[in-house]
Amino acid sequence: MERISWDQYFMAQSHLLAMRSTCTRLAVGATIVRDKRIIAGGYNGSIAGGEHCIDDGCYVIDNHCVRTIHAEMNAILQCAKFGVPTSDSEIYVTHFPCLQCCKSIIQAGVKAVYYAIDYKNHPYAIELFQRAGIIVEQVHLEGNILDPTSPEKRALMNQVLNELESKGVDKGKLNIYKEKVNELF
């Protein structure tokens, strides 16, 4: 079995954290890492003990849900709460950080931002990251990396495709099926 890369491992962790999000507008997860070790994680959600968007709806002001704390901030605040330094760390986020999170990431001393999905990438955030010398890199989460049965599913699909080919199924249809299987896996 081939091991996944560190980037994929930490990005997968961020996607798992996003599944805990309580905001109905966008689920975001963030993982802070230092020396290849996870030091904190966060997802966008309400303050401890507060109302959640999934229960009471989003509280929107100027097109932003103000009920939630962003995933990046939750991860940084978790470090602050437990006395874990964030300087020279890296952060893996499911979506490009907003401008406010960008400034917090810079102030926290994070040296690299890895994100999976472009999301309203603010030009000033990009400029601030560049000025601060922070590495910013898009890291797409690969295929079905979170599905441990993915190799077996792909093998089964290939077996079915081979059998269809041996039965003389139309080459055009077969190629469409093969493309769909490659997209899935």
Kindly name the residue from 2, 72, 163, 179 that is annotated as catalytic: 72
Beta strands in 63-111 (DSSP E): 64-65, 90-95
Amino acid residing at 82: F
What is the spatial distance between Cα 140 and Cα 5, in angstroms, rounded to a whole number?
12
Answer for the pair 134, 110: CB distance below 8 angstroms, yes or no.
Answer: yes
Residue 144 vs residues 5, 33, 148: alpha-carbon distances, Å:
14, 23, 8
What is the spatial distance between Cα 13 and Cα 151, in angstroms, rounded to a whole number?
20
Sign of CA dihedral 72, 78, 80, 83: negative
Residue 72 annotated as catalytic: yes
Picking from 37, 36, 19, the residue whose alpha carbon sits closest to that of residue 28 is: 19
3-class DSSP state of 22? coil
Phi-psi region of 28 (alpha: psi -120 to 50; beta: other; left: phi over 0): beta
Q: Report the catalytic residues.
A: 72
